[in-house]
């Protein structure tokens, strides 16, 4: 589908001398906004009361958004690669902002299905397109350090909640004078949540449009100063050939990496989704826990920091030790850390927090390193489209992870009365999943020549005029 000329890829080719370090802030502007999806728990109770519904019914909003993220990334990936980052970021902003507006209308009208449609379906489409839109561009600007580049952008997605969570509390306090965000028993009314959604719509529109209209793509013959492309050929598993998105999903390497990402994400979400009650249950004696609700909230914030830091630090490390070895760390060391969490973790809160933070840093690192791993295996030709298809693993894990943990805990007792023993079985299921992912990663080999594009230069598609 053609796009208006002001969004066209050939209008945003950078002039000689353009500073490539201006591109990561463009990507961050988009990822910090769509990373708000991790902060939906802030107004979850308010929506339960407003719609006189259940936690499960409100939780479906988040699940729909994550499923739509994976599906839209898979379907729109080729379109994003063809039309470039400005068109993709602009489109993402339109869907994401429209999702907030429609959801606000649903809250005002008391129609939960409109919130599902708005934030879940429409916003979820914006999530998927926005998540993949800057990735291939960053890889082309940083061929010498693709792990660092994608880590910087995807770090923003992990950190979005760190901004959105406290900001949401402040804004809802402004819109509802009876709400105190510091009081755990205080709940804002539906009008405050509706106004919060409309405020986010305006703020996100401004930031995402900044990203869309400042992003640039490199010219065909551009390369970093002093960088020798021939060094790429010296690295095992790194190809200089091109593989199309259609061919990529026919290779065993794509599906092995799909399994790797699915296992790593499922194991991480197992902790993230249950973080606050989990730390209280691990240190419960009788009817009371030695960990307060406020401390449990701080634990969630610490995990967000570990998630964000892991995306940057581990992905950057992969530029030096390679993508396959770093995933052996994510899955192998992660497996051992899960065992320690289940066995030694209940003895002391310090070790429990340390083990959990390490696991979540590997969870974030897995997300951020995946685009660079795809670049190594399939080249830069349609890496955005291939990345979009790979994100269906995230959608599947987003359903599987919480389902495994919650179903298992349902068999162990009543929430608020569980102890560390109740979690042990679920944690060892995650150990098994990480073992499967570890083996899948070991089996990844270079892509066979028959999947390579014939007579195609590995550099990006032609980009003629200059901005």
412 in Cβ contact with 418 (< 8 Å) = yes
- Spatial distance between the Cα atoms of 259 and 262, rounded to a whole number of angstroms: 5
Looking at the structure, do residues 358 and 412 belong to the same domain, yes or no? yes
Q: Is the pLDDT of residue 464 over 60?
A: no
pLDDT at 351: 94
Number of independent structural domains in the chain: 2
CATH number of domain containing 105 = 1.20.1250.20
Q: Is the pLDDT of residue 324 over 90?
A: yes
Q: Which of 179, 196, 220 is the last residue of a domain?
A: 220
460 belongs to a structural domain: no
* Helix/strand/coil percent split, the chain, to 5: 75, 0, 25
Looking at the structure, do residues 443 and 364 belong to the same domain, yes or no? yes
Looking at the structure, do residues 51 and 191 belong to the same domain, yes or no? yes
- Band of residue 2 on the pLDDT scale cut at 50, 70, 90: confident
pLDDT at 11: 87
Q: What is the pLDDT of residues 5-32, one digit of tens each?
A: 888 888 889 988 889 988 988 998 999 9
The two structure tokens encoding residue 62: 């988040």
Q: Which of 157, 187, 220 is the last residue of a domain?
A: 220
Q: Is the pLDDT of residue 61 over 70?
A: yes
What is the number of alpha carbons within 13 Å of residue 66 lying toward its C-beta? 20
228 belongs to a structural domain: no
Looking at the structure, do residues 192 and 106 belong to the same domain, yes or no? yes
pLDDT at 232: 65
231 belongs to a structural domain: no
- Spatial distance between the Cα atoms of 203 and 78, rounded to a whole number of angstroms: 29
pLDDT at 184: 60
Mean pLDDT of 40-45: 78
Looking at the structure, do residues 115 and 27 belong to the same domain, yes or no? yes
DSSP state of 17: T
Return the minimum-mean-pLDDT range out of 78-87, 189-198, 383-392, 458-467. 458-467
Mean pLDDT of 106-113: 95
Q: What percent of the chain has pLDDT over 70?
A: 94
Looking at the structure, do residues 144 and 253 belong to the same domain, yes or no? no
Classify burial at 2, counting beta carbons within 10 Å of its beta carbon; exposed 0-12, middle 13-18, buried 19 or more: exposed
Looking at the structure, do residues 58 and 187 belong to the same domain, yes or no? yes
Q: What is the mean pLDDT of the chain?
A: 86
**Residue 166: domain span:** 19-220
Looking at the structure, do residues 209 and 280 belong to the same domain, yes or no? no
Looking at the structure, do residues 247 and 214 belong to the same domain, yes or no? no
Q: Which of 166, 186, 220 is the last residue of a domain?
A: 220
Q: Is the pLDDT of residue 439 over 60?
A: yes
In angstroms, the Cα distances linking 124 to 78, 152, 217 are: 18, 22, 26
Looking at the structure, do residues 270 and 402 belong to the same domain, yes or no? yes
Looking at the structure, do residues 193 and 252 belong to the same domain, yes or no? no
159 belongs to a structural domain: yes
- Band of residue 456 on the pLDDT scale cut at 50, 70, 90: low
11 belongs to a structural domain: no
461 belongs to a structural domain: no
pTM here? 0.82
Looking at the structure, do residues 425 and 400 belong to the same domain, yes or no? yes
- Spatial distance between the Cα atoms of 206 and 199, rounded to a whole number of angstroms: 11
Q: Is the pLDDT of residue 385 over 50?
A: yes
Q: What is the pLDDT of residues 146-176, one digit of tens each?
A: 888 888 878 888 777 778 878 888 899 899 8
387 in Cβ contact with 72 (< 8 Å) = no
Mean pLDDT of 446-452: 89
Q: What is the pLDDT of residues 283-318, one digit of tens each?
A: 888 778 888 777 777 787 788 889 889 988 999 999
Q: Which of 127, 141, 196 is nearest to 21 (CA)?
A: 141
Q: Is the pLDDT of residue 74 over 50?
A: yes
276 belongs to a structural domain: yes
182 belongs to a structural domain: yes
- Spatial distance between the Cα atoms of 133 and 130, rounded to a whole number of angstroms: 5
């Amino acid at each position: 589908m053609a796009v208006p000329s002001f969004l066209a890829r050939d209008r945003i080719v950078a002039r000689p001398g353009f500073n490539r370090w201006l591109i990561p802030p463009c990507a961050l502007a988009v990822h910090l906004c769509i990373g708000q999806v991790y902060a939906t728990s802030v107004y979850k109770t308010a929506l339960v009361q407003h719609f006189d519904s259940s936690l499960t019914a409100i939780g479906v909003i988040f699940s729909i958004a994550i499923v739509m993220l994976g599906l839209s990334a898979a379907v729109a990936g080729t379109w994003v690669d063809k039309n470039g980052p400005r068109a993709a970021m602009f489109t993402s902003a339109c869907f994401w902002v429209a999702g907030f507006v429609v959801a606000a209308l649903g809250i005002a009208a008391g129609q939960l299905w409109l919130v599902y449609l708005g934030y879940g379906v429409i916003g979820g489409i914006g999530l998927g397109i926005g998540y993949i839109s800057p990735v291939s561009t960053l890889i082309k600007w940083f061929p010498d350090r693709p792990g660092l580049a994608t880590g910087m952008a995807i770090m923003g997605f992990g950190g979005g909640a760190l901004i959105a969570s406290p900001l949401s509390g402040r804004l809802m306090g402004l819109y509802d004078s009876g709400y105190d965000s510091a009081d755990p028993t205080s709940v804002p009314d539906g009008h405050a949540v509706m106004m919060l959604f409309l405020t986010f719509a305006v703020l996100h529109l401004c930031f995402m449009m900044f990203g869309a209209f400042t992003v640039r793509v490199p010219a065909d013959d551009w390369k970093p100063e002093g960088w020798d492309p021939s060094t790429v050929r010296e690295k095992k598993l790194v190809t200089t050939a091109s593989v199309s998105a259609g061919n990529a999903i026919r290779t065993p390497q794509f599906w092995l990496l799909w399994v790797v990402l699915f296992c790593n994400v499922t194991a991480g979400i197992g902790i993230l989704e249950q973080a606050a009650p989990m730390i209280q249950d691990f240190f419960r004696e009788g009817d009371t826990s030695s960990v307060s609700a406020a401390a449990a909230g701080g634990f969630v914030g610490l995990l967000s920091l570990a998630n964000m830091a892991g995306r940057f630090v581990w992905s950057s490390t992969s530029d030096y030790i390679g993508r396959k070895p770093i995933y052996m760390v994510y899955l192998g060391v992660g497996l051992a850390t899960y065992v320690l969490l289940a066995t030694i973790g209940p003895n002391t809160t310090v070790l429990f927090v340390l083990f959990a933070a390490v696991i979540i840093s590997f969870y974030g690192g897995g997300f951020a390193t995946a685009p660079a791993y795809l670049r190594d295996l399939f080249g830069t030709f349609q890496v955005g489209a291939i990345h979009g298809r790979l994100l269906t693993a995230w959608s599947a894990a987003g359903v599987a992870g919480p389902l495994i943990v919650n179903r298992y805990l349902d068999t162990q007792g009543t929430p608020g009365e569980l102890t560390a023993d109740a979690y042990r079985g679920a944690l060892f299921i995650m150990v098994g999943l990480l073992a499967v992912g570890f083996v899948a990663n070991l089996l990844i080999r270079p892509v066979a020549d028959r999947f390579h594009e014939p007579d195609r230069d590995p550099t990006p598609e032609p980009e003629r005029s200059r901005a």
